[in-house]
């Protein structure tokens, strides 16, 4: 009886771990899609010169880092990213060139 309970507990732990790993994998794939979509949206606006920006995403929170030419460009990049499907928040780590 104790062996059966132990096996059941181990099996339940394995199922829980597998489910968590699958959810993390799906979130990671979604973040990759978000980054690709943000890059495509920015590339569609060549006046933003966003090709040298670093873009990452974790759980739909996008971080954009790098140097832009002006304040309006900085806001336009962040606004463009915010409008991409799946983006929950934009962490703006850009700075304006001096």
The pLDDT of residue 9 is: 56
All structural domains of the chain? 27-96 (3.30.300.130)
pTM over 0.85: no
97, 67 contact by CB (below 8 A): yes
DSSP of 22-80: HHHHHHHHHHHHHHHHHHHHHHT-GGG-GGG-EEEEETTEEEEEEEES-HHHHHHHHHH
The overall longest dimension of the chain from CA atoms, in Å, is 73
Reading the chain (98 residues) residue by residue, the pLDDT tens digits are 555 565 565 556 656 655 554 444 445 559 999 999 999 999 999 999 888 999 999 999 999 999 999 999 999 999 999 999 999 999 999 999 98
């Amino acid at each position: 009886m104790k062996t059966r309970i132990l096996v059941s507990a181990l099996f339940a732990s394995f199922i829980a771990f597998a489910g968590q790993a699958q959810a993390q994998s799906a979130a990671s794939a979604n973040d990759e899609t978000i980054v690709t979509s943000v890059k495509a949206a920015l590339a569609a606006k060549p006046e933003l010169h966003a090709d040298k920006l670093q873009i990452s995403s974790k759980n739909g929170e996008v971080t954009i880092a790098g140097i832009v030419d002006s304040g309006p460009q900085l806001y336009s990049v962040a606004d463009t990213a915010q409008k991409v499907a799946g983006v929950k928040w934009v962490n703006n780590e850009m700075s304006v060139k001096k």
